[in-house]
Amino acid sequence: MASRIGDLNGKAAIITGAASGIGLALAHALAAKGVDLALADIDANGLEAARAELAPSGRRIFTRVLDVSRDADVRAAALEFEAQLGAIHLVFNNAGIDMSGTLESLSEEDWTRAFGVNVFGVIHGIRHFVPLLRRHGGPAHVVNTASGAGLWVHSEIPMGAYAATKSSVVALSEALEQELRGTRIGVSVLCPGPVATPIAERSPHSSERLRASIAAGASPQKVAGQVLDAICAGEFYIFTPTRMKAGLEQRFGRILDALERQQVAGTPT
């Protein structure tokens, strides 16, 4: 079992998607606990605003404009952040975009962008940020931001492409946890329900229903607090308040029923 990171004071963290929403809320929550920050986002103006907001915390804060879908850029960011902050203890692969719309309606560019940011952004973070956690040998933690949609496809809002990317993040996180077992690096996957962030406002395809659902969601600040509590408790799955429990029960019930029918039929499972 990975060592729990414990007291965060004096530690250093990398956060992608840090200019707004959950990423920015995490930055504020971490700074309040004495954590130095490396903030990355594709939004240059948002990053500067975030730096100004966080300056009164007195923590060391470094920013870098970053498209997480680009492997070479993430590799360069990892080297830069380590040079600036020294030992890195926390990594939040948080950057993500919405990609709503029916599967047939989305263009190849839509699909490529969605998987580039939501999936390869996490892959690149695993490849280039996680080695930084290994170097100092102390307790450390990775949090990958997925979504409740990564476990349950909404039947009334067309979010299949988004769900596909977030399902990949859940699988990557489960695999990472297994691979890091026996080390001092913990792993969590954040699977929130609706959170009041700008994600839908920036989407070219989001419906009014989706926008309304997100606007009425949990506050990013509350989610950030839950994430830090979960890290300190060593929890893997992190959920926010959501109404998807019935949907999950239906989905997994259907899966287990299918397995049970195969067992009754005498077919190996």
Q: State the catalytic residues.
A: 162
Q: Which of 179, 38, 160, 173 is nearest to 119 (CA)?
A: 173
Q: Which residues contact 11 (CB under 8 A, 6 or more apart)?
A: 5, 34, 35, 36, 89, 90
**3-state SS, residue 191:** strand
Number of H helices, E strands in the chain: 10, 7
Residue 182 has which token pair? 């026996």
CB contact burial 115-147 (16+ within 10 A = b; e otherwise): bbbbbbbbbbbbebbbebbeeeeebbbbbbbbb
CA distances from 194 to 4, 19, 177, 241 (A): 28, 19, 25, 8
**3-state SS, residue 196:** coil
